[in-house]
Structure formats: C-alpha cells, structure tokens
C-alpha cells in the first residue's frame, strides 16, 4: 500500500467517525428543548463543514492514485458525498422542525422570552396587588378620619348649642329685671357702702387706740426697767468702791510687810 492510499484510508476513517457523530447529534437534538436543540444543531453544522473538508481531501487523494485504483476510490468519494448530502438534509429538516415549533410557541405567546415575560407579568401583578393593598389601607384611614371628624363636629355643635341656650337664659333674665328693681338695688348698694365705710373707720380708730395703749404700757414698763437699772448700777458702784478700798488696804499691808522683812534682813 502506497502513501496516497494510506492517507486516503486515514481520511476515510475520519469521515466515518465524523458522519457517525453527526448522525448521533441530529438524533439527540430532536429530543432537546428549543434553545439546547439550536446549540446542538450549530455544532452539527460545524461538523458537516469539517466532514465536507475531509471529503474534498479524499477526492484530491483519489485523483492522485494510479488509474487502476482511481475509479474505485472515486466511487467511495461519491458514496461519502451522498452520505454527507443526506446528513445535510437531516440537518435542514431538524432546523425546519425547530422553526415550526418556535413559530407555534410564538403564536401562543410562548416564545424564547416566555420565562422573562412570565416573570415580568408576575412582578407587575405583585406590584398591582401591593398598590391595591395600599389604596385599601388609605381608604380605611380616610374613613377613620372622616368618622373622627364627624364626632368632633357633633361635639362642637353640642357645645355651641349649650352656649346658645346659656346666652338665651341670660337675656331672658336681664329682660325680666325692670328699672325699679335696678334703682332699689342701687340704693341698697349705696347704703351698704356707707355702712361698710363707717364700720371700717371705727375699726381703724379702735385699732389705733389699742396701739396707743400698748405703746403707753410699753413706755411705763420701760421706765420701771430704767429705775431698776439705776438702782442696780448704784449698788454695783458702791460695791466696786468697797472692793477698791479693801484691795488698797491689802496692798498697803503687803507693802508694809515687805518693808519690815527687808528692814530686819538688812540688820
């Protein structure tokens, strides 16, 4: 076996492995979801291009062999080209099936962004629910405030009504008082004022008299105290004089005794 034939056989083995792998991937893609299927078909497309390149290399090698072997190798190349065409057709069918499936999902509103759309719808629904709850809470607060306002208004109206009745009674009372009653009341007040004034003056004079009497008694007591003090001072003066005389006598006696002692010692 020459080098060309060996190289052809190598390419042939590579193509067979690649063809088997492509067929397996197409079969697997039919069981996958839309996104995974699309990725798998992209891989198949790359593999088909590589398989096509391998067939071209095989064709070049088949043209390079001897004429007696060339026809045999070219027949193999044709078979592999037919196999590759079949794989391409299977890939196209798989793609069309995916497109039809996605179109159907799109018609039902279940396209590729279905998950994100569903999440967005759920978020909008939650947001709307939260806003509805907030509105309900505000409505409750408004009702409570309205009830409180009504209660305050009723209380104020009650107080105003009571004040109105009081004012009306006062007016009725004033209307019932005539001029004669007013004059009598005025004269009575004047008499009471005079009596109270006289009573106040007498009370004031009596208070002043008592104050003078107390002052006089205080002065008499002071005179007595002064007299007693004078007597005590006079007695004390006499005693002081007596004490001085006694003290001078004692001093004189002591001096005389000292002089006598000195005199006798001097002898």
Determine the Cα–Cα distance for residues 59 and 81; give it in Å rounded to an integer. Answer: 10
Crossing angle of helices 34-64 and 67-107, in 10° steps, is 170
**% residues pLDDT > 70 (the chain):** 70
DSSP, residue by residue, 192-245: HHHHHHHHHHHHHHHHHHHHHHHHHHHHHHHHHHHHHHHHHHHHHHHHHHHHHH
At the second CATH level, the architecture of 3-114 is Up-down Bundle (1.20)
Residue 10: pLDDT above 90?
Answer: yes
Residue 61: pLDDT above 50?
Answer: yes
Query: Could you tell me how many residues make up the chain?
Result: 267
Quote the pLDDT of residue 96: 85
- Token pair recorded at residue 45: 């497309």
Please report which confidence band the pLDDT of residue 1 belongs to, taking 50, 70 and 90 as the band edges.
low
- pTM comes to 0.39
Determine the Cα–Cα distance for residues 84 and 12; give it in Å rounded to an integer. Answer: 13
Which residues in 129-159 are b (16+ Cβ under 10 Å) and which e?
eeeeeeeeeeeeeeeeeeeeeeeeeeeeeee
How far from chain centre, in Å, is Cα 215? 79
Quote the pLDDT of residue 219: 43
Mean pLDDT of 26-35: 90
Which range has the worst mean pLDDT, 19-33, 161-175, 226-240?
A: 161-175
Quote the pLDDT of residue 110: 44
pLDDT, tens only, 80-124: 999 999 999 999 998 887 554 454 444 444 444 444 445 556 666
Domain spans of the chain?
A: 3-114, 236-267
Kindly state the DSSP code that residue 31 receives in the 8-state scheme.
T
H or E, element range at 258:
helix 179-266
Kindly state the DSSP code that residue 113 receives in the 8-state scheme.
T
Pinpoint the alpha helices (H) of 108-177. 114-176
pLDDT, tens only, 126-163: 776 777 778 777 878 867 777 885 887 677 578 868 88
């Amino acid at each position: 076996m020459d080098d060309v034939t060996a190289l052809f056989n190598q390419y042939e083995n590579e193509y067979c492995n690649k063809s088997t792998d492509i067929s397996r991937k197409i079969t697997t893609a039919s069981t996958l979801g839309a996104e995974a299927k699309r990725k798998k078909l992209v891989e198949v497309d790359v593999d088909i291009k590589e398989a096509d390149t391998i067939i071209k290399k095989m064709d070049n090698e088949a043209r390079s062999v001897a004429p007696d072997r060339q026809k045999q190798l070219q027949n193999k190349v044709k078979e592999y080209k037919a196999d590759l065409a079949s794989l391409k057709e299977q890939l196209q069918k798989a793609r069309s099936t995916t497109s039809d499936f996605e179109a159907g999902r799109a018609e039902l509103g279940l396209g590729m962004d279905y998950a994100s759309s569903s999440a967005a719808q759920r978020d909008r629904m939650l947001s709307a629910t939260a806003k509805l709850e907030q509105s309900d809470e505000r409505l409750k607060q408004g009702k409570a405030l309205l009830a409180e306002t009504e209660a305050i208004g009723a209380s104020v109206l009650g107080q105003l009504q009571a004040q109105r009745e009081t004012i009306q009674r006062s007016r009725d009372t004033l209307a019932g008082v005539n001029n004669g009653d007013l004059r009598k009341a005025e004269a009575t007040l004047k008499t009471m004022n005079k009596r109270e004034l006289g009573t106040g003056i007498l009370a004031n004079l009596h208070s002043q008299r008592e104050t003078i009497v107390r002052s006089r008694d205080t002065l008499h007591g002071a005179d007595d105290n002064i007299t007693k003090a004078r007597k005590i001072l006079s007695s004390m003066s006499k005693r002081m004089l007596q004490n001085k005389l006694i003290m001078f006598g004692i001093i004189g006696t002591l001096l005389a005794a000292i002089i006598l002692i000195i005199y006798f010692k001097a002898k």
